[in-house]
Structure 1
Amino acid sequence: MKQEQINDLIKKYTAGTATNEEREQLHQWYRDIAYADAEYPDDEHLVHKRMLERLQREIIPLRKSKVLIRRIAAAATVFLCLTAGFYFYRVRYKTVETTALSYDVEPGGNKAVLTLVNGSKVNLSGVKSGIVINTTTLTYNDGSKVQVSPRTEDLYPGAMPGSGPSSQQEMMVSTPDGGTYQVVLPDSTRVWLNAASSLKFPATFSGLDSRKVELNGEAYFEVAKIRTKSKTSAAGARVPFIVVSKGQEVEVLGTHFNISAYTNQAATKTSLLEGLVRIKNDKGNALLKPGQQAINGAKGIELVSGDAEDAIAWKNGYFMFDNEDLASVMAKLCRWYNVSVNYEDEAVKSVKYYGTISRFEKISKVLTKLETTGNLKFEVKGKTVHVSEK
């Protein structure tokens, strides 16, 4: 297929005006590219997913506005640039070596530690993706049992045998740098933990007026709605779910939201996808609505509009950068790949990037994309990424 035809099809596809035949032509064109590269899986769903990545989200560094405007205005084939630019770079310049490829680091994966109420620690399976916690058993999300003592009193010391855990006893799931894990809490609330994060919670929520958990790091929550038992009405009062994190409390009744609260992060960010949440700190409180993000920093709580889906890109397997400075970009990479970063010149930390890239690529591919689209050089030595100007 000629370049002009490809460009025209991509424009129609992204505008939503392509016919079924044209969509199939574009899909076939992409499949041909994907299958020509042995690194791409021969799977229709994954191929389509990667096509959307190329169509919409190839990483481009954000330079001065005039340069960006010229680039966009002059590019009659802008969609083609976004979709095929990196492919043609790979095919035509495979012999060009970059320093980022000298060493490599595998991406993070399923890694977590479960701390029982007696302080015992259990390394959770890396071939499983999540753990389900209830009052009598611990299982992975595929139904297989977590290998710990089957005796209830050993899992929840202080409770009478057979009586289950106490609401005053706490458990914790933590992920290291380069780790992620899913947790289903005793109330059926689902939590996705990002790298270098921990979630502390009661061994049971039974009998509590509120469900309070403590987060350090980043997590996405899908909170289960539960009510107290009432003798006077069919439906009791809703039991609020409270997340305590750096400098704030988030109170919800049942909703989907993301909190990023790393200790080395200037502000705690709460993004709401569904429902309503109330955020409190020592200076006041604010009600967050779907599509909004609360930034809790030195100036208090600031509400901003944005695409909440961007905030959970990590949960869906992506790094997403929206006018994000290099310092923030590298912080995310360091947590996920368990590496450190060294800047030859501190000034480069302010270079802005936007775009999306898979979290399941080796670090060399991520750095190569950053390097080939900007004026910075990335070199991996051992577990340290060295950043300098070209």
Structure 2
Amino acid sequence: MEQEQVNGLIEKYIAGKASDAELLQLNDWYRSIAYRDAEYPDMELLVQQRMLSRLEQEIKPVRKIKISMRRLAVAASVLCCLGLAVYFYKAWYKPSDRGTTLTSNDIEPGGNKAVLTLAGGKKIDLSGTKSGIVINVADLHYNDGTKVGPGLTRLPAQKEMLLSTPEGGTYQVILPDSTRVWLNAASSLKFPATFSGLDSRKVELNGEAYFEVAKLVRRSKTSGETRVPFFVISKGQEVEVLGTHFNINAYSDQASTKTSLLEGLVRIKSENGNALLKPGQQAISMASGIELLSGDAEDAIAWKNGYFMFDNEDLASVMQKLCRWYGVKVNYEEEAVKNVKYYGTISRFEKISKVLTKLETTGNLKFEVKGKTVNVSLK
């Protein structure tokens, strides 16, 4: 949309003459610039809910509420968006010495880094110019078809292999059954070189991974066609996959394990309970049992799509993610700052200075990078 058209819509909105269609057009324009490359943290839904609540209280007649609620919702959404756009513009472009300090001690984001450990203990540093590896009994190759390296002969059948990523590393793997797995930073996946002849497919996860499980059936003259189940073992829980796309967050330094389902069905078993997970649900496994939550499971795979996404997330959890991705440690000058809440979407491919600057603009906190440590304090 041309700038003159945008200006005209804004003028109509301010004058109270914009139609519902024009309000929606203005809202779409805002989204197209605000979400581009995840440049601005997003608090839109929370602010809109508060705004609608206040406006509804001011409208007394019931008939008027019924007639104007749609217009009210659209107007509140646009008002919220425009207000946030102005706020983040001022916050982002305001000159500050803090940006200079953070930039002078900058840290690059993570990238494609992983080590493949073969059954005999041999370790292979995988190429950082490639994004994934394909496991095949006959050979090993990257997902662009190139060989992993010379001297690699046929893999021992049913011998376990280990793919691991360091802090600041991520990698993809296509397992022998064509199941696709994306590993997040500081994670590992153990799996056999082949699933041939096995009654079930079992892998072990430490850390976080997103799975797209391939359907595998076995045919025999006596029993006909039977499905070969897929299991993921991770930190005290077992997930049985019934053909699905899902994410598991099972880092050892976290109190709970989170399983988020996007498609299909999974059955979760642990010492403290069992649960059947449906699309859009998240299961949180704790010592006290398994809790099911409804929500947008897409949030759980923001990391796979190249974003940090924070939805009412406390700073301690935010920094935990940043530490794994940028390979840093964090020092809190006051314990209370750990509870500061954040909403927002930020690209994982920015340098740490840009991420921390954005966190500063949306909170009353100050960040300072010294070597590989981030100090956090109140402004």
TM-score, normalised to structure 1, is 0.81
Deviation at 1:349, TM superposition (A): 0.5
Equivalent in the alignment of 1:311: 300
Q: 2:345 aligns with which of 356, 361, 380?
A: 356
Answering whether residue 129 of structure 2 is matched by residue 127 of structure 1, we say yes
Contact 1:61–1:374 (CA<8 Å) still a contact in 2? Answer: no
User: Equivalences for 1:133-282 in 2 at 5 Å?
Assistant: 133-152=135-154, 156=155, 165-167=156-158, 169-232=159-222, 236-282=225-271
Say which SS state the counterpart of residue 263 (structure 1) adopts.
Answer: coil
Counterparts in 2 of 1:175 and 1:49: CA distance versus 1, 3 Å = farther
CA distance in 2, matches of 1:317, 1:80: 26
For 1:108, give the aligned amino acid: G
Q: What value does the CA root-mean-square deviation take over the aligned residues?
A: 3.3
Counterparts in 2 of 1:17 and 1:186: CA distance versus 1, 3 Å = farther
Contact 2:34–2:85 (CA<8 Å) still a contact in 1? Answer: no
Q: 2:41 aligns with which of 53, 58, 76?
A: 58
Deviation at 1:101, TM superposition (A): 3.3
TM-score, normalised to structure 2, is 0.83
Counterparts in 2 of 1:61 and 1:120: CA distance versus 1, 3 Å = farther
Q: 1:321 aligns with which of 303, 310, 317?
A: 310
CA distance in 2, matches of 1:290, 1:342: 38
Say which SS state the counterpart of residue 141 (structure 2) adopts.
Answer: strand
Contact 1:379–1:386 (CA<8 Å) still a contact in 2? Answer: yes
1:70-104 CA deviation, whole Å, 9 max, x = no partner?
A: 7996987421243454344444x245544433411
Deviation at 1:328, TM superposition (A): 0.3
1:1-46 CA deviation, whole Å, 9 max, x = no partner?
A: 47864658999xxx994699x58x949xx9xxxxxxxxxxxxxxxx
Say which SS state the counterpart of residue 367 (structure 2) adopts.
Answer: strand
Contact 2:204–2:233 (CA<8 Å) still a contact in 1? Answer: yes
For structure 1, which segment, 323-332 or 2-11, has the greater mean C-alpha deviation from structure 2 after superposition?
2-11
For 2:139, give the aligned amino acid: T
Say which SS state the counterpart of residue 217 (structure 2) adopts.
Answer: coil
CA distance in 1, matches of 2:133, 2:20: 40
Say which SS state the counterpart of residue 365 (structure 1) adopts.
Answer: helix
Equivalent in the alignment of 2:326: 337
For 1:51, give the aligned amino acid: R
Equivalent in the alignment of 1:162: none
CA distance in 1, matches of 2:253, 2:307: 22
Say which SS state the counterpart of residue 229 (structure 1) adopts.
Answer: strand
For 1:176, give the aligned amino acid: P
Equivalent in the alignment of 2:285: 296
CA distance in 2, matches of 1:333, 1:71: 34
Equivalent in the alignment of 1:104: 106
Q: Percent identity?
A: 66
1:125-160 CA deviation, whole Å, 9 max, x = no partner?
A: 0010000111111111111110142322xxx3xxxx
CA distance in 2, matches of 1:385, 1:283: 37
CA distance in 1, matches of 2:52, 2:107: 33
CA distance in 1, matches of 2:20, 2:215: 38
Counterparts in 2 of 1:215 and 1:298: CA distance versus 1, 3 Å = same
CA distance in 1, matches of 2:110, 2:12: 36
Counterparts in 2 of 1:71 and 1:16: CA distance versus 1, 3 Å = closer
CA distance in 2, matches of 1:128, 1:318: 20
For 2:292, give the aligned amino acid: L
CA distance in 2, matches of 1:198, 1:129: 16
Counterparts in 2 of 1:193 and 1:266: CA distance versus 1, 3 Å = same
Task: List structure 1 runs of 4+ shifted beyond 6 angstroms.
Answer: 8-11, 70-76
